[in-house]
Chain A
Amino acid sequence: MGNMKLTLKIWRQAGPSAKGAMVDYPVTDISEDMSFLEMLDVLNDKLVREGQEPVAFDHDCREGICGACSLFIDGRPHGPSRHITTCQLHMRKFKDGDVIHVEPWRSGSFPIIKDLVVDRGAFDRIQAAGGFVSVNTNGNLVDANAMPIPKPESDKAFDAAACIGCGACVAACPNSSAMLFVAAKVSQYALLPQGRPEAKERALNMVEQMDKEGFGNCSNIGACEIECPKDISLENIARLNREYLGASVAKE
């Protein structure tokens, strides 16, 4: 066991329509080797033993890739470090006596379910609107190497594809814009020959769904890029804008 003492100020909200509030919780015996979520495990263990309700939060893989964890820590999505998710944040980034604020993602399009858990179903619906290549399962496709793809494009597509759909971009944005998320998916496919045939409809359909979900507009603040755990670049938003503009013009 470690010896850090901390004060946590955590958003508690019993249900979707309940009124929430920040509640103070002291925690002790925190080791610097713990992850942030393990520190919350310590708190929850204590709460359960005391007969209180533990804090609900989303998490699953705890290795920074599933995109489930989603905590707004001291005013930043995924906390103070760059390019990591909440589950990869370790307590050595904090010091004894710190007061730490923990909140859920805040966005009208991500309604709170309970405490720190939000509903990110909007992202799935955006994906379902066009985030795919329309190819059925088929054992008779052409050989994978029949279509060489220049490495630079392939690498850029990969950079965009690294998005984990956590929603930090939305939480970081004062406008609650989902442009970085949508742009990452549109870019991945737009950069690859497999994705070109549907590039126009894809951009139009995904943006349409994004608007329907109530996400705000992009005003080029760039907070999304700074807070993105996977370092998705703003260039993708520029690419989405080009794709969208081109598609809109072609449509008319």
Chain B
Amino acid sequence: MSILDAKVPAGPIEKKWSEHKDHIRLVNPANKRRIDIIVVGTGLAGASAASSLAEMGYNVKSFCYQDSSRRAHSIAAQGGINAAKNYPNDGDSIYRLFYDTLKGGDYRARESNTWRLAEVSASIIDQCVAQGVPFARDYGGLLDNRSFGGALVSRTFYARGQTGQQLLLGAYSALMRQVGKGKVKMYDRHEMQDLVVVDGKARGIIARNLVTGELERHGAHAVLLCTGGYGNVFFLSTNAMGSNVTAAWKAHKRGAYMANPCYTQIHPTCIPVSGDHQSKLTLMSESLRNDGRIWVPKKLEDAKAIQEGKKKGSDIAEDDRDYYLERRYPSFGNLVPRDVASRAAKERCDAGFGVNKTGEAVYLDFASAIERYGKLEANVNHIDNPSAEKIRELGMKVVSEKYGNLFDMYENIVGENAYVHAMKIYPAVHYTMGGLWVDYNLQSTVPGMYVLGEANFSDHGANRLGASALMQGLADGYFILPYTIADQLSGEIRTGPIKTDTAEFVEAEKSVRERIDKFFSTKGTEPVDHFHKRLGKVMWEKCGMARNAKGLQEGIEEIRKIREDFWANVRVPGKPNELNQELEKAGRVADFLELGELMCKDALIRNESCGGHFREEYQTEEGEALRDDANYAFVGAWEWTGEPGNDVLHKEKLEFEALKLSQRSYK
């Protein structure tokens, strides 16, 4: 085990970034034209980085597995993006955004990165508005804000329930502009299959053309992974069906350390699972917690009657409802952070108070918001003594304007009108805070390879606050990486184009081809999904919302068995040299089967609870996460040593200068 150096610049926290930028090495404009950069992934981080680097003059190759770069899963983010603009004049500042983010992450993030994120947040909004991103505005034409979990200010900018879409399309338009100019060469329907390392430096990738099946070698002076998170290791998650860990995992096997893989975010407000056929879960934006109140019945007999279909939520009298978040956390109420809200829902459902037939759902109720808004609207419109019906009608209109698309989405999936019946929700896997280890420059342990956005580990600690993922993706891509990468690239101006006929490229391509051949030669009987579902079930039960040592050890054993079974019995139909979606899935699941074990291992060595990592053995009397700062204030970064399960742990000690460690409280 070694101690990892994040190369955080010296000096007071508020000066680190500007001082660092002032002293970083630069590449002159003429030399930028001689440097090639590969960007894998076209979500917020990838698209913003690729377009920014191309604008600066670098030659960029951009890759995505989707049929168009516009479809990366950032597009599905609903609620919003945080920025310390303080437009509502409620006392927000860089410090407060930093403080909320670090505390929200249960003090397991790197302090200097979190500060930098808060520091550049305001520029993101300026940039996006300049690009024509249609953020929500008030009647005066100025930008509107709303509140998200874990904050006592309103700092979340939004575009109805489609903030991710609008931000991504903004970044995509910037990317397409560079494609049109020929500064970015776009490779869609391409999936990275391996990282090529030459003389210890990342020098390119092997990509599979998903249409022809051809394996391609691409060389570059630097490789950026902007490939998102690995939530699909759970099979069911709010990730897109294609979201995967393959690029990151292959980089891990080539020397990039994987940090804190056990930190996963289970989002409290998702549509509950309806049956075995389920292929993915759908999020209901956290913004709904601005107005929706979460509750279950107070009495077990009421919960039972609801589970059996004999009663409905509306049959339960106000006094018989347990608004458990408001009860347990009076100061943050329904807007506690995600990990806290999810665990509280699980606690009530485990105790038997769930409100659907599986007993795994709680209500998210808009009745009181509808009434409150209805009365307000009646006043605004000078309607005297409005009837209850009129108030409801007016209130529904307001709620529909704010969240209409979410209510429609809910009705499509569940077949129930949430304006009439309280929504039913349950936690689901949503985001992964863990990821490839990076230093302050976002460089991984493989020199020349950088990791941005959800794919890295650095800014959110053990739990991410709502509306911070969009912020981080764009911060990394627009305002951080384009500066920090020059430090490395300034040494590459005489390197010349990277040749792809070297032994390293040949070897990497060969290993990719061999694995593909192995899938076809297995000739088993079970489709890929069969194994993925089994893996997902183990991960959810043993390494999900609550973990314990015994369960994690069992989980490791079970994953090993599934992995063996996979390689003996998987059936991949068709051929390698064609569009073959089963082959694509097989490659991704094979990697998840190795990652899953590492996640359990990481959770097992972390003998404390923090954020999304809740070890049942370590909790306060009130059931809150119990950290152990003396022994676990470190980043756990794992080094691949040749076989799954044999990773070696390295530590980056987390130093806190600006903030004192304290127990996280939302009471």
Q: Which residue of B lies closest to A46 (CB)?
A: B527
Can you show 7 pairs from A to B with CB atoms below 8 A apart? A38-B279, A41-B279, A41-B529, A52-B573, A65-B165, A124-B179, A151-B141
Q: Which residue of A lies closest to B239 (CB)?
A: A61
**Which residues on the A side are within 8 Å of B68 (C-beta)?**
67, 120-121, 123-124, 165
**Which residues on the B side are within 8 Å of A141 (C-beta)?**
123, 126-127, 130
Among candidates A49, A137, A150, A162, residue contacting B527 with C-beta atoms closer than 8 Å: A49
Beyond A66-B76, A121-B68, is A135–B131 a contact (Cβ under 8 Å)? Answer: yes
Is A161 a contact of B51 with CB atoms below 8 Å?
A: no
Give A56 Cβ to nearest chain B Cβ, in Å. 6
Among candidates B70, B85, B479, B571, residue contacting A165 with C-beta atoms closer than 8 Å: B70
Interface residues of A in 86-103 (CB under 8 A from B): 88-90, 92
Is B66 a contact of A124 with CB atoms below 8 Å?
A: no
The verdict on A34 contacting chain B, using a C-beta distance below 8 Å, is: yes
Interface residues of B in 82-129 (CB under 8 A from A): 85, 87, 120, 123, 125-129
Tell which of A83, A148, A189 has the most Cβ of chain B within 10 Å.
Answer: A148
Q: Which residue of A lies closest to B575 (CB)?
A: A53
**Which residues on the B side are within 8 Å of A52 (C-beta)?**
573
The verdict on A249 contacting chain B, using a C-beta distance below 8 Å, is: no
**Which residues on the B side are within 8 Å of A192 (C-beta)?**
132, 134
The verdict on A129 contacting chain B, using a C-beta distance below 8 Å, is: yes
Among candidates A37, A136, A143, A151, residue contacting B137 with C-beta atoms closer than 8 Å: A151
Among candidates A15, A89, A133, A142, residue contacting B578 with C-beta atoms closer than 8 Å: A15
Is B71 a contact of A66 with CB atoms below 8 Å?
A: yes
Is A133 a contact of B279 with CB atoms below 8 Å?
A: no
Cα(A59)–Cα(B65), bound, Å: 12
Counting contact residues on chain B (CB < 8 A from A), the size range is 35 or more
Is B141 a contact of A149 with CB atoms below 8 Å?
A: yes
Give A127 Cβ to nearest chain B Cβ, in Å. 4
Cα(A45)–Cα(B526), bound, Å: 9
The verdict on A144 contacting chain B, using a C-beta distance below 8 Å, is: yes
The verdict on A64 contacting chain B, using a C-beta distance below 8 Å, is: yes
**Which residues on the A side are within 8 Å of B274 (C-beta)?**
33
The verdict on B172 contacting chain A, using a C-beta distance below 8 Å, is: yes
Tell which of B67, B276, B527 has the most Cβ of chain A within 10 Å.
Answer: B67
Give B580 Cβ to nearest chain A Cβ, in Å. 8
Is A124 a contact of B525 with CB atoms below 8 Å?
A: no
The verdict on B63 contacting chain A, using a C-beta distance below 8 Å, is: no
Q: Which residue of B lies closest to A33 (CB)?
A: B274
The verdict on A63 contacting chain B, using a C-beta distance below 8 Å, is: yes
The verdict on B29 contacting chain A, using a C-beta distance below 8 Å, is: no
Interface residues of B in 263-289 (CB under 8 A from A): 274-280, 282-283
Cα(A121)–Cα(B240), bound, Å: 21
The verdict on A128 contacting chain B, using a C-beta distance below 8 Å, is: yes
Is A67 a contact of B70 with CB atoms below 8 Å?
A: yes
Interface string of B35-69 (1 = CB under 8 A from A): 00000000000001001100100000000001111
Cα(A195)–Cα(B573), bound, Å: 49
**Which residues on the A side are within 8 Å of B169 (C-beta)?**
161
Beyond A54-B581, A161-B169, is A1–B277 a contact (Cβ under 8 Å)? Answer: yes
Give A32 Cβ to nearest chain B Cβ, in Å. 8
Is B134 a contact of A136 with CB atoms below 8 Å?
A: no
The verdict on A245 contacting chain B, using a C-beta distance below 8 Å, is: no
Q: Which residue of A lies closest to B279 (CB)?
A: A38
The verdict on A207 contacting chain B, using a C-beta distance below 8 Å, is: no
**Which residues on the A side are within 8 Å of B177 (C-beta)?**
128, 132, 134
**Which residues on the B side are within 8 Å of A38 (C-beta)?**
277-279
Give B467 Cβ to nearest chain A Cβ, in Å. 16
* Given A41-B277, A48-B527, A124-B70, 9 further pairs, Cβ under 8 A: A61-B241, A66-B71, A66-B76, A114-B578, A128-B180, A133-B130, A135-B130, A136-B55, A137-B482
Is B131 a contact of A194 with CB atoms below 8 Å?
A: yes
Cα(A25)–Cα(B207), bound, Å: 34
The verdict on A107 contacting chain B, using a C-beta distance below 8 Å, is: no
Among candidates B166, B186, B574, residue contacting A124 with C-beta atoms closer than 8 Å: B186
Among candidates B129, B165, B242, B409, residue contacting A164 with C-beta atoms closer than 8 Å: B165
The verdict on B415 contacting chain A, using a C-beta distance below 8 Å, is: yes
**Which residues on the A side are within 8 Å of B529 (C-beta)?**
41, 45
**Which residues on the B side are within 8 Å of A15 (C-beta)?**
578-579
Give B588 Cβ to nearest chain A Cβ, in Å. 13
| The 10 residue pairs across chains A and B that have the minimum distance between CB atoms | A148-B141, A128-B180, A132-B173, A158-B134, A137-B52, A144-B129, A48-B527, A66-B71, A128-B176, A132-B177
Is A61 a contact of B73 with CB atoms below 8 Å?
A: yes
Cα(A47)–Cα(B581), bound, Å: 13
**Which residues on the A side are within 8 Å of B527 (C-beta)?**
44-45, 48-49
Cα(A161)–Cα(B67), bound, Å: 20
Is B409 a contact of A63 with CB atoms below 8 Å?
A: yes
Is B126 a contact of A149 with CB atoms below 8 Å?
A: no
The verdict on B211 contacting chain A, using a C-beta distance below 8 Å, is: yes
Cα(A42)–Cα(B527), bound, Å: 11
Cα(A27)–Cα(B69), bound, Å: 34
Is A62 a contact of B127 with CB atoms below 8 Å?
A: no
Beyond A65-B75, A121-B188, A133-B131, is A60–B415 a contact (Cβ under 8 Å)? Answer: no
